[in-house]
Chains A and B, each alone.
Chain A
Amino acid sequence: MSFWKEDKSHVYWNPYFGGFMLGLLLILTFYITGRGVGATGGTKSAVITTVETISPEYAQRSKYYSKYYDEGTNPMKNWLVFETIGILAGAFLSGALAGRAKFRIQHPPHITSNKRLVFASIGGLLFGFGSQFARGCTSGAALSGAAVLSLGGFITMIGIFGTAYLAAYFFRKLWIN
């Protein structure tokens, strides 16, 4: 019984073990499908479907949506959509087993919840926009790209982490005091 009562919510995997498992998963994914993993592709499919459902005429006219509209296939019937559902299920399983699954807003004690949420929404906006521009995010472009030595994957990886390091000084009050 003591096993279940122990607070494991702050115990994470050793990062090298986690990285090794993630590397093996990438190899398996390439072995089965010939491609890597992704995290924004499923989100994009959902956006396309929403726009098509609300305004089919607009989707047909739009330069961006028409190319998906013309294909005639359902954008939700997509490998990355099923994978994204899997990510949610797998992460919930891990979090629930470790006692981390509960509703809360996580932020450093010296900033307010509202401030955290405002910056989370700005960050999400930028990440959504940037991922479409770079044809993939940290998972689809940087990680899966670099795994097969894609030049663009490395450029995007350096872009993301380099910029975040350079900008870290200006946003330090958000995270540390």
Chain B
Amino acid sequence: MGPLTYFGEISTEWNYVIALFIGMAFGYIMEASGFSSSRKLIGVFYGYDFAVIRVFFTATLVAIIGLLYMGYFGWIDYSVLFVHPTFVASAAIGGVIMGLGFIMGGFCPGTSLCAVAIGKLDGWVFTIALFVGIFLYSQVFPWIEPLYNAGDMGHIKITEYFGISQGWFAFGFAVVAVAVFFITTLIRRKVKDVRY
């Protein structure tokens, strides 16, 4: 039963080898989907290319439903999976700062690494700045620490917060995703082509 490393079915030495291969698959999928191009990524915000939202929503949906089924079948212990902790203030403010970074820089960190790998110099500059941004954060950390730890809700799930079942949430998310795919297709037809 999974997670394999959690139950000691894979030794920790293998963990780093696995990390390398998972990273390779991750990088390959992102690059092959066009995520090494800032102009393709940014198309989602101006309506000329919706690849980002399609890849992102499909991946999230497949993962949510797949993991729930793995749990139901007893192939994975769903209760021990790492749930990203919720700190309301920092999750929201961090998201807003990253959103501004996305629209100005044209990448997010994973996609900028793909751009670095294929020689896009704008990706190199973005990634170097990413290092500097993390360093700057470490410098101001003592002042913003209270805000960083504000609104601690622990490892809470969205379904627990709203009191709905995981199955119904997955169903609702699927409906939203299909609606988004449909609407973005309509918008794409109306927006004039951008060549890149």
Interface positions of A (Cβ within 8 A of B): 12-13, 15-16, 18-37, 39-40, 43-44, 46-47, 51, 62-65, 77, 79-80, 82-96, 98, 100-108, 116-117, 119-168, 171-172, 174-176
Report the contact-size class of chain B (Cβ under 8 Å from the partner): 35 or more
- A160 and B99 contacting across the interface, CB-CB below 8 Å: yes
The answer to whether residues A106 and B122 also contact, given A85-B20, A147-B63, A151-B157 and a CB cut-off of 8 A, is yes
Q: B174 an interface residue at 8 Å Cβ cutoff?
A: no
Per DSSP, chain A at the interface is helix
Residue of A nearest to B50 (CB): A15
CB distance from B124 to the nearest CB of A (A): 9
0 or 1 for each of B150-170: is its CB under 8 Å from A? (1 = yes): 000101111111000010010
Q: Which listed residue, B51, B55, B90, B112, touches A134 by the CB 8 Å rule?
A: B90
Contacts of A144 in B (CB 8 A): 84
Contacts of B139 in A (CB 8 A): 64
- B32 and A123 contacting across the interface, CB-CB below 8 Å: no
Q: Which listed residue, B102, B127, B144, B157, touches A160 by the CB 8 Å rule?
A: B102
- A103 and B46 contacting across the interface, CB-CB below 8 Å: no
- B70 and A27 contacting across the interface, CB-CB below 8 Å: yes
- A43 and B122 contacting across the interface, CB-CB below 8 Å: no
The answer to whether residues A90 and B31 also contact, given A23-B63, A124-B101, A152-B91 and a CB cut-off of 8 A, is yes
- B22 and A94 contacting across the interface, CB-CB below 8 Å: no
29 contacts between A and B (CB under 8 A): A12-B40, A16-B54, A18-B55, A19-B62, A22-B58, A33-B3, A47-B135, A79-B16, A82-B19, A86-B20, A88-B27, A90-B27, A90-B29, A92-B117, A108-B39, A126-B100, A128-B133, A130-B93, A131-B133, A133-B93, A138-B98, A139-B108, A147-B64, A152-B85, A155-B86, A157-B95, A159-B93, A165-B45, A168-B46
The 4 closest A-B pairs by CB, nearest first: A123-B105, A159-B95, A86-B23, A128-B133
